Structure 1
Amino acid sequence: MLCLSAEGLLPKIDYAIFADTGWEPGAVYSHLDRLENDIAGPADIPTVRVSTGNIRDDALNPNHRFASMPLHILNQDGRPGMARRQCTSEYKIKPIKKKVRDLIGYPFPKRIPSGVYVEQWVGISTDEFHRAKDSDVAYMRNRHPLIVDMNWSRADCLRYLKARGLGQTPKSSCLGCPYHGNAQWRHIRDTSPEEWQDVVAFDTAIRTGSARANANGTPLLGQAFLHRARVPLDEAPIDRVTAHELAQRQLELVDEEDLEQGDLDGCSPWSCRSGSPVQADYDQAA
């Protein structure tokens, strides 16, 4: 959407906001630098990076409140479970809403008058129209240009990026996101040994829950894992190609696109790959 706006194929946007969880792959930060320098800058589109901290460090800090990640849980009775997902709200939606309020001149807790709002573009393509939702606050109105203006599928987006030398655009999501599929875990392991050791270490450290809960004497009743197999990450069956991944490869071959590692979805604030809705009004957040 930033490229389309910079080229004039979509209206010029006022700002591009990136919510940084502090634990993105190095490739994402490098790509963001390139977007700022080569695309946004020449088009005179300001880019803003917002953050509420480093999700990895916060989870392992006994003095910091832990915004729950959707960790895969193995309960004491052997049944599988999943922790609540608060990370998208805490590390992406809240800082974006805070910055939007600042940009329109009504920082929290200043009341925003009725009728004052921003139009927020959300990059959902026609393949995932079911994820296109309205905002949960009156001062932000969601628009989905890839659907409404361009009628573009994911394949259309990939072709456009590839034609402009951006075919290797990485997906934005935390290194240790529990929603990673086997392909993404393999990609980290095989292309970035340092980042792989980082996620393996985190997976071990989070086994009994957050550091703060353990420091308060309330460890997790069960065990937590990053991989859905609920075994240590360095022992997980990540070399097994799932039926979903195989089917996607076949679809991409039909579209004559390069095969990509990982799940289709990145971690967009308003379309997290979990598919479950996130309601998190900054005005009401603690």
Structure 2
Amino acid sequence: MSSENNVVSFSGGKDSTALLLMMLEKGIPVHSAVFFDTGWEFPLMCEHIDRLEKYTGLKIQRVKPKTPFPVLMMEREIVSREVRVEKIGPAPPPQELDYDDGDDFRFDYECWELDPFEYKKTKIGEVYRIGYGWPSPLRRWCTREKVGAIDAYIKRIESAVSCIGYAADEAHRTQKKTLQKKAAAGFKYRFPLIEWGVDEAAALSICKSHGFDWGGLYEHFHRVSCFCCPLQRIGDLRTLRRHYPLLWETMLEWDERITLNPGKHNGFKDHVTVRDFEARFAEEDRFLKLPLAVNE
């Protein structure tokens, strides 16, 4: 409808790039394209967005988090909204010399044997952790910030329709509860690539036909998002370390800061730290350099 304003939710990847190119080619009016700048993008992704703006003549609207992501991840004081009791480590056994009553000692010792740990209690309103730490599948605070900022941008546009670049081979993503809930609240969505039958491979091909190759990112990765995303595959982490060592060094520095911060942190991926992955990948490299055994 001509009265609707199409807003492309632009990630910078192959699907949203193909979506924007195809909408412009088909003469479909585009009110704007909005990109959430996390500050964690590959430098090559930033270069791609600049090139796309020049190619299309369309200014991509960049929105940013109110608080920079590194501050949220490593510096923000996290205040407890409830009484929290957290295990902080092994507790030393009770010492009989500290007791005047033998029965009290035996009781405390039996309790220690059942649960030999120390606990910390945090009251409501008290700081219990510094920094959100790395995002995780159950605590995707980064996604919450991104969706909130993009939604706020779209809400300011009259009769806005959010055009999302889900490819035809990932149509299941349209069934997300969050999308359905917002649609029920009045948000309007379109998924043009699905309407046109454009799958992920075709989307990448369309982009390449226009001269966009992201400086080779898609030769190394199946998906391109934040370089430090904990949800990426272990193979992608290995590739990142090999081909983008400066970004990997940044992740190691952040990982050390997070680990040293007060409070409980669950590692980078599946309770494994970036430093753990560094040790693993270094050992793999060492093994690959070993001379092959010669059968006598």
TM-score category of the 2 structures, normalised to the smaller one: 0.5 to 0.7
3-state DSSP of counterpart to 1:121: strand
3-state DSSP of counterpart to 1:224: coil
Aligned to 1:97: 151
Aligned to 1:33: 50
Q: How does 1:13-162 map to 2 (within 5 A)?
A: 13-39=30-56, 41=57, 45-52=58-65, 53-63=67-77, 66=131, 69-71=134-136, 83-90=138-145, 92-104=146-158, 117-133=159-175, 134-137=179-182, 138-148=185-195, 150-162=196-208
1:121 Cα shift? 0.9
**Structure 1 residues 130 and 206, CA gap change in structure 2 (3 angstroms):** same
1:135 Cα shift? 4.9
In structure 1, C-alpha distance between the alignment counterparts of 2:193 and 2:205, rounded to whole Å: 14
Q: Percent identity?
A: 24
Aligned to 2:225: 173
In structure 1, C-alpha distance between the alignment counterparts of 2:279 and 2:228, rounded to whole Å: 15
1:68 Cα shift? 6.3
In structure 2, C-alpha distance between the alignment counterparts of 1:233 and 1:55, rounded to whole Å: 22
What amino acid is aligned across from residue 44 of structure 2 in structure 1? A
In structure 2, C-alpha distance between the alignment counterparts of 1:124 and 1:153, rounded to whole Å: 9
Q: What is the TM-score with the length of structure 2 in the denominator?
A: 0.60
Q: Are 1:203 and 2:255 counterparts?
A: yes
Question: Which structure is larger by alpha-carbon Rg, 1 or 2?
Answer: 2
Runs of at least 5 residues in structure 2 that lack an aligned partner in the other structure: 1-18, 80-130, 218-222, 285-296
In structure 1, C-alpha distance between the alignment counterparts of 2:134 and 2:201, rounded to whole Å: 30
**8 Å contact from structure 1 (residues 68, 83) kept in 2:** no
Picking from 10, 22, 25, the partner of 1:4 is 22
What amino acid is aligned across from residue 31 of structure 1 in structure 2? H
1:190-222 Cα shifts (integer Å, max 9, x gaps): 2222111001111222226xx5xx2xxxx10xx
In structure 2, C-alpha distance between the alignment counterparts of 1:98 and 1:224, rounded to whole Å: 31
1:84-131 Cα shifts (integer Å, max 9, x gaps): 2222011x1111111112333xxxxxxxxxxxx421111111211111
**8 Å contact from structure 2 (residues 42, 227) kept in 1:** yes
**Structure 1 residues 12 and 172, CA gap change in structure 2 (3 angstroms):** farther
**Structure 1 residues 197 and 68, CA gap change in structure 2 (3 angstroms):** closer
**8 Å contact from structure 1 (residues 135, 141) kept in 2:** no
Q: How many residues align?
A: 201
**Structure 1 residues 67 and 224, CA gap change in structure 2 (3 angstroms):** closer
Q: Larger % of helix: which? A: 2
3-state DSSP of counterpart to 2:29: coil
Runs of at least 5 residues in structure 1 that lack an aligned partner in the other structure: 72-81, 105-116, 241-286
What amino acid is aligned across from residue 61 of structure 1 in structure 2? E
**Structure 1 residues 176 and 239, CA gap change in structure 2 (3 angstroms):** farther
In structure 2, C-alpha distance between the alignment counterparts of 1:55 and 1:172, rounded to whole Å: 18
Q: Larger % of strand: which? A: 2
In structure 1, C-alpha distance between the alignment counterparts of 2:248 and 2:255, rounded to whole Å: 11
**8 Å contact from structure 1 (residues 183, 238) kept in 2:** no
3-state DSSP of counterpart to 2:34: strand
Q: What is the TM-score with the length of structure 1 in the denominator?
A: 0.62
Q: How does 1:178-189 map to 2 (within 5 A)?
A: 178-189=230-241
**Structure 1 residues 224 and 56, CA gap change in structure 2 (3 angstroms):** same
In structure 1, C-alpha distance between the alignment counterparts of 2:200 and 2:68, rounded to whole Å: 30
RMSD value, Cα = 2.7
**8 Å contact from structure 1 (residues 69, 83) kept in 2:** no
